[in-house]
Structures are given as structure tokens and as C-alpha cells.
Amino acid sequence: MNFLQQGITNTSIFRLLSTVSNFLIALLLSRFLGPKVKGEATIILTTITFLVFFCSFVGGQALVYLVPRFRVENLIIPAYIWTILVAGISYVLLRYFHVFTWKRTLNICVLSTLGSVVNIHSAVLLAKREFRRYNIVLLLPIVITLMGLAITIFLLEHKDIYAYLYPLYIGYFITAVLSLGYCFKFISLAPSVTVFDDLDSSLKYGLGYQMFELLQLLNFRLYFYLLYHIQGEADLGLYSIGVSVLEVAWILGRAVSVIHYSDFSNHENEQMAVQRTLRYLKIVFLAGAAMLFVIGIVPAEVYGFVFGKSFMYVKYQVKWLFPGVLMYNLMLVIQSIYLSKASYGRLIFVQLIALIFSVTLCYSLIPHFYYSGASAAASVSFCICGVLMLLIFMKDYRIAFSRLLISKDDVHFINNVLRTIVSGGKDTGSKS
């Protein structure tokens, strides 16, 4: 198995483990702490995600493009400083507008800082194509949180939100320290007065990437906030479980996206990038369809048994999300080729069009149809992203519709990849 295929396979496995760990966390929260605490955890984690986004204007995933081109220390030191500034300003603003209590706000801002530091280090590792260590950094805080949550519930018998927050602190802190150790060999310790020389590049590319990321994040989670304000924490807790289940269908797509982004950023072979994108576009779409089919045929009683009776009909509450989740796999695969060229304009355009539809539909559907309204609004947004991105990709690279069909070469490639996985990684001649 070649380096790229192995990276995608390992990343998919780690993301599967991450998904399973997140499911177990959701299971513990829902079954032993209840829908209300699950809803609290969801809104806190979503807020942390937004704050990490703002921290990433300097030092986010744009580092994957920048690290091969600039000195690492010139990129991460300004990123650390920016992260601290954003966390401090966020605390002031959240308290000024009384969004949360001071204690909740402090927890969110500190966790956002730690999460941003981990994000910086993981981007450096991804840019350096240290895929194994990158995957460890992504998985470790989730596993530590899971273990800590189990301890706080069963041994310490905590039944409130802090049973979740304390393990989250430990997970982020340990991962931040470990990931810094992983990145240390790429950082020059020689004192330099030019450490801010590349700040303009960090801001330029960071702003472009984060504009795209913000719109994508809003498309992913805006309806969470609207559902939260209209229905409350308990209903959001129920709904978020269903969304987490469906996002299993994105595991392979996300793995392909991050590995291709890293790989394409380190070489200029555009023809090869297009060929790989086309091939994995088909594979990811079929894998996503198969996964959604499995999720759809699982009896409701299984969800009730696993998550608790309150969650028995969760798959029906998100049924309208199925087509959107499938189509968004197209976006996940194609976006990597544009990110690797720092070509953010088209990605921003697609996400903006989808967000306009999402906001319009959320405000019109959620008050009347609740869960189904949120699902339908998000699904339309995801479908628009997938279809528009596919059409733009085909136009930019002059790809005929016939090339989207499964070919004999694609079947041969899939067979070789499966054989190499089964045989323990020995290359059987597959080419990407």
C-alpha cells in the first residue's frame, strides 16, 4: 500500500475510533446524565468550536498550505499570541452580553484556548505529512474525555455538566503538551527578530480559509442554535444524537479530504490531483450511501436500547438529513484540491449560497416542523454544497460527466486497496 493510501486508511480507522468514542461519550451523557445535560454539553461544545474558529484566523488549517513554504516558528508563535487575544476578548464579550454565567464563560474560553493550541499543532503535523501523529493528536483528547467521564459518573458519582467538563480539560491539556513535543523537531530554537515576518501571509491565507470554514461551520451548526432557542436543551440533546449517528457517513470523506489537502499542498502535479479527486469522489460517495443504508435499516429499538428510551425514534427525527449527508461527501472530497492551492473564492461562494438557503429555511420550517424542519433545512444546504461544488470542479478541469461513472480501473483500484488492507499493508500494485 503506498504512502497516500496508507494515510487515508489509517486516518479513516482513527476517525472511526474517534466516532465510536464520541458515541460512547454521547451514550454516557444521555443515559446517565439525561437529555438536559446532553443539551448543555452540545451547546458548550458548539460554542467552543466557534471560538476555536476565530482563534484560527492566524494558525488554523491554513497552516497546512503555509508550513511547506515558511519557517514553522514564524507561523506558530503569532498563532499562540492571537489565540490568547481572541480568548480574552471572547470572555469579555460573552459576559457583556450575558450569554453564559461567568464560570461557564471562563470554562468555554480556557477550553477554546487549549483546543486552538491542539489545532495549531495538528495542522503542523498534517502539513509535514506526519499522519500517524496527526491522528493520535485528534483521537487522544476524545479517548481521555471518555475515560474521565466514565470515572466521574461511576466512581465519583457526578451528575452535572462538570462530569463532562473536567475530563475535557484533562484531555485537551495532555494533548496540547504531547502535540507540542511532536512538533518540536520542526521548530528552530535560535532567537530571531523576524518571527513576525510572515504574519501577513498567515493573516492573508488564514482569513481566506477561515471565511470558508465559518460559512461551513454555520451550515453545519446554525440550526443547532435555532433549535436550542426554540425547543430548549432537552430537545437539542435528542436531536444531536441523531446528527452524530448520520455523520458516520462522512468518516471516509473527511479522511480523504485532510490527506489530499496535505499531499496536494506539497506538490504541484495538478493532473494527478484531479485524477485522485475523481477516483475518491466515487469511492467516498458509494461508501457514504452504504453507511446511510445500514443506519436506515437499524430498528428503532436498537437506538432505544443503546441511548435510552428517550432516544428510540431519533433516526426518524433526522430522516430528512439522509440525502444531504450523502451529497455533502462530494464537497468534502473536492474541496481538498482547492484548499491545497489556497483557492478559497469558489469554496466561499458555494458555502454562502448554501447558507442563504439554510437560514431562510431554518426560520420558516423549524417553528412549524421542529426536528423535521431543522433536518430539511440542513439537508437542502448540504445538497446545494455538493452539487454546486461538483459542477464547478467539472467546469474548472473540463471533466465530462462520463468520467463520473465507475470504470474498470476504479474497480481494480478498490480491489487492490482492499487486498492490501487485508494482507497487512503489502503493496499489490495499486496506484492512486
> How many C-alpha atoms does 48 have within 13 Å on its Cβ side?
24
Q: Is residue 121 a contact partner of residue 136, using CB atoms and an 8 Å limit?
A: no
Q: Is the pLDDT of residue 256 over 80?
A: yes
pLDDT digits (tens, 9 = 90+) for 299-321: 878 877 776 676 676 767 778 88
The three cell numbers of residue 101 are: 454565567
Mean pLDDT for the chain? 86
What pLDDT is attached to residue 90?
95
| Alpha-carbon span 405 to 43, nearest angstrom | 41
Q: Do 265 and 129 contact (CB within 8 A), yes or no? A: no
Confidence bin at 255 (pLDDT 50/70/90): very high
The residue that leads in pLDDT, 237 or 109, is 109
pLDDT at 32: 87
Q: What is the pLDDT of residues 131-169, one digit of tens each?
A: 999 999 999 999 999 999 999 999 988 888 999 999 999
Give the helix, strand, coil percentages of the chain, each rounded to 5.
85, 0, 15
Mean pLDDT of 195-218: 81
The whole-number average pLDDT for the span 269-297 is: 90
pLDDT digits (tens, 9 = 90+) for 372-412: 888 888 999 999 999 999 999 999 999 999 899 888 888 88
Which residue shows C-alpha cell 454516557? 28
Q: Which residues contact 173 (CB under 8 A, 6 or more apart)?
A: 114
More confident residue, 27 or 106: 106
Predicted pLDDT of residue 192: 57
Give 181-192 pLDDT, tens digit per residue: 999 989 876 655
Please tell me the predicted confidence (pLDDT) of residue 398.
93
Mean pLDDT value across residues 72-81: 89
DSSP code string of 403-419 = GGS--HHHHHHHHHHHH
Instruction: Give yes or no for a contact between 315 and 300, defined as CB atoms under 8 angstroms apart.
Output: yes
Give kind and range of the element (H or E) at residue 333. Answer: helix 322-339
Tell me if residue 111 falls in helix, strand or coil.
Answer: helix
Q: Tell me: pLDDT of 113 over 70.
A: yes
Which pLDDT score is estimated for 235?
62
Higher pLDDT among residues 357 and 431, named by residue: 357
Q: What is the DSSP string of 65-96?
A: HHTTTS-HHHHHHHHHHHHHHHHHHHHHHHHH
Summarize the confidence of residues 32-42 as an average pLDDT: 83
Quote the pLDDT of residue 27: 83
Q: How far is 43 from 176, CA to CA, in rounded Å?
A: 23
Residue 232: its pLDDT value, please? 61
- pLDDT of 68 above 80: yes
